[in-house]
Chain A
Amino acid sequence: MNRRLELVCPAGSLPALRVAVDHGADAVYLGFRNATNARNFAGLNFDDGEMRRGIQYAHERGARVFLALNTYARAGQWSDWTRAADLAADLGVDAVILADPGLMRYCSERHPELRLHLSVQGSATNPEAIAFYAHQFGVQRVVLPRVLSLNQVRYVISNAPVEVEVFGFGSLCVMVEGRCALSSYVTGESPNTCGVCSPAKAVRWEETGSSRRSRLNGVLIDVYAPGESAGYPTLCKGRFIVRGGPDASPAYALEEPTSLNVLAILPELLQSGIAAIKVEGRQRSPAYVGQVTRVLRAALDACMRDPSGYAPRPEWVAELDRLAEGRQHTLGAIDRAWQ
């Protein structure tokens, strides 16, 4: 048996949490029903009572619970974030996932026993930045932004004094997380400020006889021909026109609708020394979470049993592609050619 690699799955609700745990998640991550976490969507997340029940359910079955407090506390509303941190400590979560350095200092001083993970929103992409969080606040794990190649991930792991968690499946952020104001540029609300990207309330669909158009706060994100499948208008995944280049026809200038999927390189990731693989998608349904967790559990078990004999099974890939944005997948920045 090789080293154990932790599978961390999203829980946007109590049913999703149960499904993730039942299907083999080693840990789940969740958030309160407010702006303190980066999936602040209507109908999602937990109140205190649900959180208590969720933690109990997970702990009784040997799974850990991480609480995402990974937005930046708003000026003048600091106590909303510290209250959430106090409650997290009180509820007995296994770690809090933080991005705001001020909140990290608060937690390290007020709740020294509370385990701190650096959120992907903390934008730490190199060992020196990670050392800052480790030395200043005792951060014990860092979630890497989806901008590093496999060699760069290895470099970070060899030189950073903490555990490293990487994203393994789900929607792909094209930009460095925590450093993207595209959504607030278009809609006034961003991951850092409001815990949202391309928020649903800003989306408008227009149907004409010859096309279907998606707009985000009035900005035309994409135009679909009749019969063409249309995706959610995440603003970095629309088709635009680049002026002054070789081709002025509409193109996915930033990124196509696609999902991250690391099944193909699990042995390399295992060997690199990462501590955990994270599934994106607290906004997804329990059914989605169950399917993804089951596939990744099977793949991870197979890989840990026999890394050299591991190959992703076609049915795993097919099942995940059915769930993927645009029904296709990519390694993203892990594959240098993508960059």
Chain B
Amino acid sequence: MTAPSRSDSTPGTVAMKLSLGPIQYFWDRDTVMQFYGRVAESPVDIVYLGETVCAKRRALNAADWLDIAAHLAAAGKEVVLSTLVLVEAASELSRMRRIVDNGLYRVEANDMAAVNMLCSGKRFVAGPHINIYNGETLRLFADLGAFRWIPPLELGREAVAALQAVRPDGMQTEVFAFGRLPLAFSARCFTARAHGLPKDSCEFRCADYPDGMELETRDGQQFLALNGIQVQSGYTANLVRELPTLQALKVDVLRLSPQSRGMETVIDWFRRAIDGNVDLDEAARALGDAVSTGPCNGFWHGVAGMDWLSEFVP
């Protein structure tokens, strides 16, 4: 991995930051530890930690996560603890309460339960699964204590531009820029279903799919990916070529979603692209080579999310 080279080129402006979203998949403890060991050395600025998909996945306990957080914070990263998206049980709420009250790190809320715990005085991140679609709702979340928000994944350039124009003072905007899109959540575990198992005895089959299970159409199109109770895009979202627009819109942070292989390469290319040291078409090609799926950027362009607009649209 190349050393970080920051070039805050324009005086008076803050360079766009890079974040690493929470791991969506069920990786074993050693893999997670090694992954964040490498992340500590990488040129990302913000790291979101924790299990957001399935409460049954407990390869790491709370102490493990806090160890990772401390290691990353010592390496100069801003650490944010992410919370579960689909919350159903009392035990899940107690665990969320412990995350909210951790006392050291800020929290990303992905459900209104977390917002309810945070909004009496704590500053928090409104995650991509909090439905903020307009300026009035963004204002509400600023009033509740949000200092950063991630637009819902289906919002594109036009909506983000409209919201940037009215965003409350101090509100940071973070856009999901790379990775399989977490499109939907269900009570049903689709990985277990594919194995003919009920969720309550799932045998943790999702551990065998470090980037999800591929779902194809009957004529061979990469359609979706199954990740436990979560459904992801079959294609990998990639906004590297939209960087000039994202910068012009004063987007503060780009989020990269972890995948099992090649993540350092992905981080490096985005870092170099932000720093202006690379041709964006070349970056898009290199990022395409780093993943096994086709790319998509349709949501950003206001069309079907699975589409890839290959021409640069300023």
With a cutoff of 8 Å between Cβ atoms, the chain A residues found around residue B137 in the complex are 72-73, 100-103
Q: Out of A181, A219, A337, which one reaches B221, CB within 8 Å? A: A219
With a cutoff of 8 Å between Cβ atoms, the chain A residues found around residue B187 in the complex are 146-149, 176, 332-333, 338-339
With A181-B153, A182-B231, A337-B198 given, is the CB distance from A175 to B111 under 8 Å? no
Within 8 A of A (CB), among B195-218: 195-196, 198-200, 208-209, 213-218
Chain B, residue nearest A175 (CB): B184
Within 8 A of A (CB), among B284-306: 298-299, 302-306
With a cutoff of 8 Å between Cβ atoms, the chain A residues found around residue B196 in the complex are 246
Interchain CB contact under 8 A, B185 and A176: yes
User: What would be 30 A-B contacts, judged by CB atoms less than 8 Å apart?
Assistant: A73-B137, A100-B133, A102-B137, A106-B136, A132-B116, A147-B88, A155-B89, A176-B86, A176-B185, A181-B299, A182-B224, A182-B231, A184-B305, A185-B154, A185-B299, A185-B304, A187-B304, A188-B303, A192-B152, A193-B154, A240-B215, A240-B223, A242-B226, A243-B214, A245-B194, A245-B195, A246-B194, A336-B200, A338-B188, A339-B200
Chain B window 144-172, contacts with chain A (Cβ cutoff 8 Å), 1 for yes, 0 for no: 00000000111000110011000000000
Q: How many residues of B contact A (CB 8 A)?
A: 72
- The CA of A124 and the CA of B88, in the complex, are separated in Å by 9
Chain B, residue nearest A242 (CB): B194
Other A-B contacts than A129-B116, A147-B86, A333-B187, 17 sampled, CB-CB below 8 A, are A123-B131, A125-B87, A128-B112, A149-B187, A175-B185, A181-B181, A182-B184, A184-B304, A186-B305, A188-B303, A236-B184, A241-B215, A241-B218, A245-B194, A254-B186, A255-B188, A332-B187
Q: Cβ of A272 < 8 Å from any Cβ of B? A: no
Q: Cβ of B272 < 8 Å from any Cβ of A? A: no
Q: Cβ of B310 < 8 Å from any Cβ of A? A: no
Chain B, residue nearest A336 (CB): B200
Q: Cβ of B139 < 8 Å from any Cβ of A? A: yes
With A188-B304, A336-B200 given, is the CB distance from A253 to B215 under 8 Å? yes
Q: Cβ of B33 < 8 Å from any Cβ of A? A: no
With a cutoff of 8 Å between Cβ atoms, the chain A residues found around residue B88 in the complex are 125-126, 147-148, 152
Q: Out of A78, A132, A181, which one reaches B305, CB within 8 Å? A: A181
With a cutoff of 8 Å between Cβ atoms, the chain B residues found around residue A190 in the complex are 154
- The CA of A219 and the CA of B302, in the complex, are separated in Å by 18
With a cutoff of 8 Å between Cβ atoms, the chain A residues found around residue B303 in the complex are 188
Interchain CB contact under 8 A, B181 and A179: no
- The CA of A99 and the CA of B224, in the complex, are separated in Å by 27
Chain A, residue nearest B220 (CB): A241
With a cutoff of 8 Å between Cβ atoms, the chain A residues found around residue B193 in the complex are 253
Q: Cβ of B255 < 8 Å from any Cβ of A? A: no
CB of B245 to closest CB in A, whole Å: 16
Q: Out of B117, B133, B163, B216, which one reaches A243, CB within 8 Å? A: B216
With a cutoff of 8 Å between Cβ atoms, the chain B residues found around residue A73 in the complex are 133-134, 136-137
The binding surface of chain B is classed by DSSP as: mixed
With A99-B131, A125-B88 given, is the CB distance from A250 to B184 under 8 Å? no
Q: Cβ of A227 < 8 Å from any Cβ of B? A: no
Interchain CB contact under 8 A, B133 and A72: yes
Interchain CB contact under 8 A, A74 and B304: no
Chain A window 193-212, contacts with chain B (Cβ cutoff 8 Å), 1 for yes, 0 for no: 10000000000000000000
Q: How many residues of A contact B (CB 8 A)?
A: 75
- The CA of A200 and the CA of B103, in the complex, are separated in Å by 50
With a cutoff of 8 Å between Cβ atoms, the chain B residues found around residue A180 in the complex are 183-185
With A78-B134, A193-B154, A240-B217 given, is the CB distance from A101 to B140 under 8 Å? yes
Interchain CB contact under 8 A, A129 and B113: yes
- The CA of A260 and the CA of B272, in the complex, are separated in Å by 51
CB of B221 to closest CB in A, whole Å: 6
Measuring CB to CB, which residues of chain A are less than 8 angstroms from any residue of chain B? 72-78, 99-103, 105-106, 122-129, 131-133, 135, 146-149, 152, 155, 174-176, 178-182, 184-188, 190, 192-193, 217, 219-223, 236, 239-247, 250-251, 253-255, 332-333, 336-339
With a cutoff of 8 Å between Cβ atoms, the chain B residues found around residue A339 in the complex are 187-189, 198-200
- The CA of A124 and the CA of B114, in the complex, are separated in Å by 12
Interchain CB contact under 8 A, B216 and A181: no
Q: Cβ of B32 < 8 Å from any Cβ of A? A: no
Chain B window 220-264, contacts with chain A (Cβ cutoff 8 Å), 1 for yes, 0 for no: 010110100001010000000000000000000000000000000
Q: Out of B131, B208, B221, B302, which one reaches A188, CB within 8 Å? A: B302
With a cutoff of 8 Å between Cβ atoms, the chain A residues found around residue B185 in the complex are 175-176, 179-180
Most chain A CB within a 10 A radius of its CB, from B158, B187, B298, B299: B187
Interchain CB contact under 8 A, B134 and A128: no
Q: Cβ of B129 < 8 Å from any Cβ of A? A: yes
With a cutoff of 8 Å between Cβ atoms, the chain A residues found around residue B305 in the complex are 181, 184-186, 188
- The CA of A236 and the CA of B112, in the complex, are separated in Å by 26
- The CA of A226 and the CA of B90, in the complex, are separated in Å by 49
Interchain CB contact under 8 A, A181 and B154: yes
Q: Cβ of B219 < 8 Å from any Cβ of A? A: yes
Q: Out of A74, A129, A245, which one reaches B112, CB within 8 Å? A: A129
Interchain CB contact under 8 A, A220 and B218: yes
With a cutoff of 8 Å between Cβ atoms, the chain B residues found around residue A77 in the complex are 134
Q: Out of B93, B163, B208, B214, which one reaches A126, CB within 8 Å? A: B93
- The CA of A190 and the CA of B154, in the complex, are separated in Å by 9
